Amino acid sequence: MPICDICGMEAVTLYECSRCGAKFCDECGDPKRMLCYDCLDLEREEGWIEEEWEEWEEEEWEEEGWDEWEEAN
């Protein structure tokens, strides 16, 4: 059985990351984008995934109580 380069576990199916070439399982990447989680994190840091970042900002700020913090400061 093949082994995931990211987590080191055996997996039935592996995918090859289109950015770094790592072989990753369903748990360690996004098969639709063909990116491992390491490269997905890099893309987010570099601002490559704009629409996801905007969604995250709105959802996370609401969850974290941003409005209350903003009002208090």
Residues 22-33 pLDDT 10s: 999 999 999 999
Alpha-carbon distance of 50 to 31, in angstroms, equals 19
DSSP the chain: --B-TTT--B-S--EE-TTT--EE-GGGEETTTTEEHHHHHHHHHHT--HHHHHHHHHHHHHHTTHHHHHHH-
| pLDDT at site 41 | 84
Residue 72 has pLDDT above 90, yes or no: no
| pLDDT at site 43 | 74
pTM over 0.85: no
Residues 32-68 pLDDT 10s: 999 999 998 887 776 655 445 455 455 555 555 555 6
Residue 2 has pLDDT above 90, yes or no: yes
Of 49, 10, 56, 4, give the one whose Cα is nearest residue 28: 4
